[in-house]
Structure 1
Amino acid sequence: MIVPDISQNAVSVADHYDELDPIYRRVWGEHVHHGLWETGRETPGEAVEALVDTVGDRLSLVPGQACIDIGCGYGSTAKRLAVTRGVRIAGFTLSAEQARYAAAYPVPDVDIQVRDWLDNGLPDASADAAWAIESSEHMVDKPRFFAEAQRVLAPGGRFVICAWLAETDASGWKVGHLLEPICREGRLPSLGTREEYEAMATAAGFTITGYEDVSRRVARTWPICARRLLKALFVDPETRRVALGSRNLFVLSLPRMILAYRTGALHYGIFTLEKAGEDER
């Protein structure tokens, strides 16, 4: 597990997204996650929605199900799946700014809450499906992240995780110059490997039913974001003000992210997990 030299917690994660809110919406868009290029010809917007739809497919969502979006951001992923799959969704974010933006554009059957997933207050076995798109990295206690999903899901429930993953046995320079600074600048309490995620999922009681490394199909997200940021810095005073005055330095990680993907230091994995059904139990 890669751990930054400056410890991070839920408060620092919330501060990161609240302070950089204008930049995230300008540069990363309302979904705040990678795009998935299936053919290579998709627009960035189509690629972002392709990742959302892939998650919906992995979950085998059906109308009427109760779902959880762990680390929901601006709620755009939850809103798309509520509309396209007919499900009911409770979304959790640490950021008050993200929740405020989500509330300004409500969608039926989507409830966005400012609350830490590790203290979610949901009843046992109350959800049919859950997903975490690029939010597990921000969890201070990753084993508990898995344990809470196991507790909240009903028997037979599915859990899909899209995660940034450290290269297994990454060399010293990759850790020191890429992965550890990415954790520090991005407010990631830790960054795990595929093997560590699978071990934590299994320990929590999940069965791993699928894994796919889609690093090559998501990596172009970062050059696109870098170009958007450079343009915004030139033309948008608000972006310049926030970026230059920010205590959060994640904008510095853009070149690191590009290099981390190109060198194999960083991977992007999609896990599909399942809680045992009543008959299996």
Structure 2
Amino acid sequence: MIVPNISQTAVAVADHYDELDPIYRRVWGEHVHHGLWVTGHETPAEAVEALVDTVADRLRLVPGEACVDIGCGYGSTARQLASSRSVRVTGFTLSAEQAHYGAAHPVPDVDIQLRDWLANGLNDASANAAWAIESSEHMVDKPRFFAEAHRVLSPGGRFVICAWLAETDASGWKVRHLLEPICREGRLPSMGTREEYEAMATAAGFTIAGYEDVSRRVARTWTICALRLLKALLVDSETRHLALRARNRIFVLSIPRLILAYRTGAMRYGIFTLSKASESGMPPR
């Protein structure tokens, strides 16, 4: 597990997203996660929606199901799936700015809550499916992140995680110059490997139903973000002010690191498909 040399807390994560809210919406848009290029010809907006659809397909969502979006950001993924898959979604975010944005863009069957997933307050076995798109990295207690998902899911429930992962056995220079700074600058309490995630999932009671490394199909996200940020710095005074004066301005440095981390293989992007055993004790098909 890669751990930054400055401890990161849930409060620090919330402050990061609240303060940099204008930059995130300008550079990443409403989804605040990678795009997935399936054919290679998608626009950035289409690639972002393709990642959401990929998650939904792996979850095998059924109309009417109760779902949980762990680390929902602005609620865009929840809104997309409530509309396209006719499911009910409860989303959790640490960021007040993100929660306010979600409240200002309400849709039926989507409830965005300003609350820490590690203290989510949901009843046992109250959801059929859950997803976490690039939010597990921000969890200060990753084993508990998995344990809470297992508790909240009903028997036979499905869980999909899209995660930034560290290369297994990454060399010292990759850790020192890429992975540790990415964690520190991005307010990630830790970054795990595929093997560490699978071990934590198994310990929580999940069955590993699938894993896919899609690093090559998401990596161009950061080149697009870099170009958008450069343009914003040139034309938008608010972006320039935040980039130069914000407490969390150091995150800007992570964009070139992320580009290099993908190109060197130091960082991977993995999609895990997990399942909770049914009442018969068998994992769902």
| TM-score for the superposition, normalised by structure 1 | 0.99
The match for 1:262 is 263
1:29: Cα distance to partner?
Answer: 0.5
State the match for 1:159 in structure 2.
159
Offset of 1:260 from its aligned partner?
0.1
Counterparts of 1:20-59 in structure 2, within 5 Å, are 20-59=20-59
Alpha-carbon deviation of 1:204?
Answer: 0.2
For residue 256 of structure 1, report the CA deviation from its aligned partner.
0.1
Report what 2:204 is aligned to.
204
Between the aligned partners of 1:83 and 1:25, the Cα distance in structure 2 is 22
Pairs aligned (count): 281
2:276 alignment partner in structure 1: 275
2:150 is equivalent to residue 150 of structure 1? yes
Q: Following the alignment from structure 2 to structure 1, what is the Cα–Cα distance between the partners of residues 244 and 133?
A: 28
What amino acid sits opposite 1:156 in the alignment? G
Query: Which residue number corresponds to residue 254 of structure 2?
Result: 253
Deviation of 1:194 after TM superposition, in Å, equals: 0.1
Matches within 5 A, 1:119-158: 119-158=119-158
Cα distance in 2 for partners of 1:62, 1:150 equals 19
Query: C-alpha offsets along residues 54-78 of structure 1, whole Å, 9 cap, x if unaligned?
Result: 0000000010000000000000000
Gaps of 5+ in 1: none
> How far 1:144 moved relative to its partner?
0.2
SS of corresponding position for 1:162: strand
Q: Per-residue displacement from partner, 1:93-124 (whole Å, max 9, x unpaired)?
A: 00000010111111100000000000001000
Letter in 1 for 2:180: E
Query: Matches of 1:156 and 1:108 in 2, distance apart?
Result: 26
**CA shift at 1:49, angstroms?**
0.1
RMSD between aligned alpha carbons? 0.5
Cα deviation, residue 275, structure 1:
0.2
CA distance in 2, matches of 1:252, 1:19: 16
Equivalent residue, structure 1, for 2:79:
79
CA distance in structure 1 between the partners assigned to 2:103 and 2:148 by the alignment: 25
Find the aligned partners of 1:104 and 1:269 in 2 and give their Cα distance.
Answer: 32
Identity %: 83
Q: Tell me the TM-score normalized by structure 2.
A: 0.98
